């Protein structure tokens, strides 16, 4: 019998393991873990080469999840993601050959390089946890995570993700350049790929599912919901963004906050938990007008403008 890891102990170990490979990005690491425990998909947006793929790989390895990777390109077809039905001469029937989406952790690398048609093939998988090919529906394994990376949309050869798809990512993170000290450590240190291979799995899929159940059980008080609703309301007042957060986003915010509270080793959500995840959850869902303000900055402004009731 495998004891079910409870609470923060195994989570702290997982965090520490990831931090050994992704240097100086404790907050981003914690948020990504938080996102996965909340049962959401993660979008990492940043310039190439800051460690997006490495983070996804490390997550898969440390969490003990089966891991597949799809490199999105402009000629990627939906079938390349979901899989195809192939005619078998021996039996004289079509049999389904599952695509890379049938895994526990899917890394969709450079998702905005593919055409909207290929991108939308991921939609059903992400939302419904199932794939329909040639009229037959195939269930995806549990747990199922999508970690997508994308380059800033100002770069050449990118197709911006539609809002509907953005909304399906619980969080959007950006890693940013490492500080000088950590970059030096990175330069001196061993090859990341080899480190990842050497990293033992701290958790397993059953642990993840159990932790996800625990997240939903974290206490949420009326006072906290007051605060959360005030925050959501503020995004919708038209002063900060063209469109505010949807009810689905509000729910996502709540789950993320519960997950963060669990990561902090608490059994109840505090306003601090909501604040910790707010920018990551809200920023990519806000639509701004033509001004060049960053959505993150706007989200932070909103956070500072709402008093805790």
Partner 1 sequence: MTTRSARDDHRLLLPLMGLLLAAAALMDQAPLWVSGTLLACLGLRIGAIYRGWGVVPRLVLVGLVVGLTVGVLANFQTLNGLQAGGTLLMAMAALKVLESRTSRDDAVLVLIGFFLCLASLLVEQSIFRLLHALLCVWLLTAALLASQRPTEASASVPLTRGSARLLLLGAPFTIVLFVFVPRLEGHFWAIPAPADEASSGLSDLMNPGAIAHLVMSDEPAFRVQFNGALPPASQRYWRAMVLEDFDGRSWRRAQALTNGAPPVLEANGSEFSYTVTLEPTQQNWLPTLDHLLRVEGVSAQRLHDDMLIVSSESSDKQATITSLTRYQAVSAPAARVNALELSDFERSRQTRLPADSAPKARAMAVTLRTQLPSDTAYIERVLALFHEQNFQYTLDPPPLTLDPVDEFLFSTREGFCEHYAMAFTVLMRLAGIPARVVVGFQGGELNHYAGYLLIRQSHAHAWSEVWLNGQGWIRVDPTSVVAPERIRRDLAGGPQRASAQNSALFESSWALSAREGIDAIRNLWKQAIIGFSAQSQSNLLERLGWKGLPAQGLVLALAIGMMLAGGVLYVLQNLALKRQAQDPVQQAWLAMGTRLAARGMTRAPHEGPLDFSRRLGEQWPSQSAAITDLTQRYLKLRYENQTDPLLQRNFIRDARRYRPRGRPRA
Q: Based on CB atoms, which residue is closest to partner 1, 20 or 229?
A: 229
Minimum Å gap between C-beta 256 and partner 1 is 16
Q: How far apart are CA 304 and CA 23, in angstroms?
A: 29
Q: Rule CB under 8 A: which residues touch partner 1? A: 219, 221, 223-224, 267-272, 275, 303-308
Minimum Å gap between C-beta 227 and partner 1 is 9
b/e code 173-196 from CB counts within 10 Å (16+ = b):
bbbeebeeeeeeeeeeeeebeeee
Q: How far apart are CA 283 and CA 224, in angstroms?
A: 21
Q: Based on CB atoms, which residue is closest to partner 1, 288 or 308?
A: 308
| Cβ atoms 195, 21 nearer than 8 A | yes
Minimum Å gap between C-beta 254 and partner 1 is 13
Minimum Å gap between C-beta 64 and partner 1 is 32
Minimum Å gap between C-beta 305 and partner 1 is 7
Q: Return the beta strands (E) in the chain as ranges.
A: 41-45, 67-71, 83-88, 93-98, 105-109, 130-133, 136-139, 145-150, 169-173
Q: Based on CB atoms, which residue is closest to partner 1, 111 or 224?
A: 224
Distances (CA, A) of 29 to 26, 34, 44, 113, 121: 5, 8, 11, 25, 28
Minimum Å gap between C-beta 259 and partner 1 is 16
| Cβ atoms 70, 34 nearer than 8 A | no
Q: Based on CB atoms, which residue is closest to partner 1, 133 or 308?
A: 308
- Token pair 């159990």 in the structure block, residue: 210
Q: Based on CB atoms, which residue is closest to partner 1, 201 or 308?
A: 308
Q: Based on CB atoms, which residue is closest to partner 1, 101 or 283?
A: 283
């Amino acid at each position: 019998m495998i004891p079910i890891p409870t609470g923060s102990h195994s989570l702290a170990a997982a965090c520490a393991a990831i931090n050994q490979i992704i240097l100086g990005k404790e907050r981003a690491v914690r948020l990504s873990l938080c996102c996965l425990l909340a049962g959401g998909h993660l979008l990492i947006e940043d310039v190439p080469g800051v460690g997006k793929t490495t983070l996804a790989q490390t997550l898969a390895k440390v969490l003990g999840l089966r891991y597949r990777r799809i490199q999105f390109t402009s000629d990627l077809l939906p079938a390349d993601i979901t899989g195809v039905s192939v005619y078998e001469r021996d039996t004289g029937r079509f049999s389904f050959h599952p695509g890379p989406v049938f895994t526990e952790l899917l890394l969709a690398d450079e998702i905005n390089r593919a055409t909207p048609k290929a991108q939308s093939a991921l939609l059903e998988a992400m939302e419904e946890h199932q794939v329909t090919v040639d009229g037959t529906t195939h269930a995806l394994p549990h747990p199922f995570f999508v970690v997508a990376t994308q380059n800033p949309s100002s770069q050449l050869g990118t197709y911006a993700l539609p809002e509907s798809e953005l909304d399906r990512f619980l969080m959007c993170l950006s890693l940013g350049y490492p500080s000088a000290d950590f970059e030096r450590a990175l330069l001196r240190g061993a090859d990341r790929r080899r480190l990842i291979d050497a990293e033992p799995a701290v958790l397993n899929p059953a642990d993840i599912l159990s932790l996800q159940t625990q997240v939903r059980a974290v206490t949420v008080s009326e006072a906290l919901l007051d605060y959360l609703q005030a925050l959501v309301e503020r995004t919708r007042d038209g002063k900060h963004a063209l469109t505010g957060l949807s009810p689905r986003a509000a729910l996502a915010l709540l789950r993320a906050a519960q997950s963060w509270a669990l990561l902090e080793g608490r059994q109840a959500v505090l306003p601090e938990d909501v604040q910790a995840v707010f920018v990551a959850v809200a920023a990519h869902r806000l639509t701004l007008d033509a001004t060049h303000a960053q959505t993150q900055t706007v989200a932070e402004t909103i956070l500072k403008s709402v008093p805790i009731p």
